[in-house]
Structure 1
Amino acid sequence: MTPDGGATPQEPLEARPSSRRVVWTALRVLGSVVALVTVYYLLPLDRLSTSVAVTVLLLGLIGFVALIAVQVRSILRSRHPGLRAAEALATSIPFFLLLFAAAYVTMAAQSPDSFGRHLSHTQGLYFTVTVFSTVGFGDITPKTDTAQLVVTVQMLTDLIVFGLALKVIVGAVRRSRERRNTGANTRAGTDGGG
């Protein structure tokens, strides 16, 4: 610190988040993920029609984009953008995966030949994660054109999530830090220039 309270160029302007803040963030993430998974397991997905499931999936993806936009804005305003970005990713990815898992469970219930067998909630989530992680064990495979199309959409959106969403969130952290550095340097220059 300079005598007038401004930051020196060697000091990081983003103060390290306190342990308490990190724990609180982790608890919020855990609570959000538990709530999402609980809702997923409680939904009667086997009673929805395929068209309703696809509509919900599309609306959910629009909601996912809106969620990312809100989170980017929050990162830009955050005092701890790195921590806020980690929270954003830790809540957005499960939401994204559960959307596709719900669609697969519904499709398998309405059209058993979609995946060659009925999918439970757990099997739908497992299949979604294998597609997302590009592991693809082959024990569950899409059999119909509709199922293959939805899985293809997931694979393409996976690439978007990996690439674009991560780039946007990391970019928001960088912009927030740069803005803080510029603001602190301007204040330090103003305070020390008189």
Structure 2
Amino acid sequence: MDRTGSAPDGTPPAGTAAPGRVRKGRAALVVALRCVTTITILVAAYFLLPFTRHDVDVTNLALGLSAVTAVFALQVRSIARSAHPRLRAVEALTTTMPLFLLMYSAAYFVIEQSAPGSFNESLTRADALYFTLTVFSTVGFGDIVARTEPARILVMTQMVGNVLAVGVATRILFGAVEAAVRRQTSGTRGPG
């Protein structure tokens, strides 16, 4: 053992954490805090921002979906460049999925406010979020049902988005993680 207490091969003494594990633990804590903060901000914004009947139309929905896609693309890029790609993938999911779900929840809330009767009951923001999560999880309790054609079309777009989010997006994230891990194990670093 040398002055630092490490063995001649540089390994730390028994009972102490390796520096890499400490860094990874700190990184995991930072990611967890960012995830909780992001979700908290998104949910708070959903409940606090004023939505008007003009906030839901095809253009705004397309812009919202484009924003979710852009955030997702930036997240995939950051995974490929990250020292901790698995942690970045978790963070990407906890950023993108709530944004996607809250966007639909806001759309359901606004469509019910602008065209009462679009659903079989009036939707509060909490009801709209509940309905969104019910559609996302494919549980479909049937207690809230889209009754008008625009509401049903909106629900169908979420159903397609759910399949894409769960299937395609998850595969893209796993691919980015695998590429980053391969890069790290081969000893090369990506740009940036």
Which aligned pairs between 1:21-170 and structure 2 lie closer than 5 A? 21-45=27-51, 47-49=52-54, 52-54=55-57, 55-170=59-174
Name the CA distance, whole Å, in 2 between partners of 1:36 and 1:59.
Answer: 17
What's 2:13 paired with? none
SS of aligned partner of 1:117? coil
**What's the CA shift string for 1:91-132, capped at 9, x where partnerless?**
111000000000000000111111022211100000000000
C-alpha deviation, 1:152, in angstroms: 0.3
SS of aligned partner of 2:56? helix
Name the CA distance, whole Å, in 1 between partners of 2:96 and 2:130.
Answer: 18
Name the CA distance, whole Å, in 2 between partners of 1:44 and 1:123.
Answer: 16
| Unaligned residue ranges in structure 1 (runs of 5+) | 6-14, 185-194
**What's the CA shift string for 1:50-74, capped at 9, x where partnerless?**
xx31332221110111111100110
SS of aligned partner of 2:187? helix
Q: How many residues align?
A: 170
SS of aligned partner of 1:181? helix
Give the TM-score, by structure 1 length: 0.82
**RMSD of aligned alpha carbons:** 1.9
C-alpha deviation, 1:85, in angstroms: 0.4
- Report which of the two has the higher share of helix: 1
Name the CA distance, whole Å, in 2 between partners of 1:183 and 1:25.
Answer: 24
| Bigger relative contact order, structure 1 or 2 (CA pairs below 8 A, ≥6 apart) | 1
| Unaligned residue ranges in structure 2 (runs of 5+) | 1-9, 11-19
Aligned AA for 1:77?
R
C-alpha deviation, 1:182, in angstroms: 2.0
Identity %: 43
